[in-house]
Amino acid sequence: MRKVILKLALICVMVLAMSSPAFADSGENLTTEYLPDGSYYETIIETSSPSFSLFATSSTKSGSKTVNYKNSSGTVLWYVKVSGSFTYNGSTSSCTSSTVTAASQSSYWTISGKSASKSGNVATASATAKRYSGSIVVQTVNETIHLTCSANGTLS
């Protein structure tokens, strides 16, 4: 009887340890791409903690990728963000949902269209940003971003 209780206690400890935040890999990844005029694109990947169960055959994870377009002073002029949810099992992964958020932070820029899609293990968002001088469009930027989940649950 004592061995059975010890085994049950060990199983409980293992289950609690596996669901502990110490095992979570939430985080943020930042990259920057500078343009000749001093403006730049800042890309941020945010990852949530994975969700898994002791008896499940796959895990789930969600995250987002945001591209901020900034002027040379570092002010965000507009951004587009894709958010995705994924399942993965170590051999394959699949995107289960994809949403887009896009907005202008400047009176000179507007977002004229946006869309989201998913295919395989990729969540995709697209947006069109237009810069105006008065009522005339002087610049149009089409931005498409992809959030990919690996078979091991790594978002990129």
Q: Which residues contact 133 (CB under 8 A, 6 or more apart)?
A: 108
Residue among 114, 113, 109, 111 nearest 138 (CA): 109
User: Quick one: 66 exposed, middle or buried, by C-beta within 10 A (0-12, 13-18, 19+)?
Assistant: buried
Q: What's the pLDDT at 55?
A: 60
Q: What's the pLDDT at 102?
A: 97
| CA gap 81, 43 in Å, rounded | 9
Q: What's the pLDDT at 82?
A: 98
pLDDT tens figures, 12-27: 444 444 433 333 344 5
Per-residue pLDDT of the chain (156 residues; tens, 9 = 90+): 555 454 544 454 444 444 333 333 445 688 899 999 999 999 999 998 766 556 667 889 999 999 999 999 999 999 999 999 999 999 999 999 999 999 999 999 999 999 999 999 999 999 999 999 999 999 999 999 999 999 999 999
Written as six digits, the tokens of 108 are 């000179």
Q: What is residue 90's three-state secondary structure?
A: coil
Q: What's the pLDDT at 68?
A: 97
Question: What pTM was estimated for this model as a whole?
Answer: 0.78
Q: What are phi and psi of 135, to 5 degrees?
A: -105, 10
Beta carbons of 93 and 149 less than 8 angstroms apart? yes
| CA gap 80, 145 in Å, rounded | 8
